């Protein structure tokens, strides 16, 4: 949470990718026996605020 909180709303796509990569690493660690229990990334989503979708509108092309 400490890693994702500062960028969760300002850099939403980057934060989503970081969360995904941390989850992959934790899944690997569990599969290889480095850690046990559930993946801690699974519960992080509930502790962070909802990300707002940013619509990117483009100006009309000149004719």
Predicted local distance difference test score (pLDDT) of residue 2: 79
Predicted local distance difference test score (pLDDT) of residue 31: 93
Range of the domain at 27: 4-47
Whether 54 maps to a domain, the answer reads: no
Whether 37 maps to a domain, the answer reads: yes
Predicted local distance difference test score (pLDDT) of residue 5: 84
Whether 10 maps to a domain, the answer reads: yes
Whether 56 maps to a domain, the answer reads: no
Whether 63 maps to a domain, the answer reads: no
Predicted local distance difference test score (pLDDT) of residue 28: 95
Burial (CB < 10 A; 0-12, 13-18, 19+), residue 8, is: buried
Distance CA 48, CA 63 (A): 45
Whether 24 maps to a domain, the answer reads: yes
Predicted local distance difference test score (pLDDT) of residue 6: 87
User: How many structural domains is the chain composed of?
Assistant: 1
> pLDDT per position in the chain (63 positions), as tens?
778 888 888 888 898 999 999 999 999 999 999 998 888 888 887 788 887 777 778 888 887
Whether 12 maps to a domain, the answer reads: yes
């Amino acid at each position: 949470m400490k890693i994702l909180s500062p960028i969760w709303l300002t850099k939403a796509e980057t934060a989503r990718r970081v969360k995904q990569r941390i989850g992959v690493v934790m899944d690997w660690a569990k599969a290889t026996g480095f850690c046990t229990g559930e993946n801690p990334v699974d519960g992080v989503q509930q502790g962070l605020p909802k990300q707002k979708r940013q619509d990117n509108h483009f100006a009309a092309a000149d004719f």
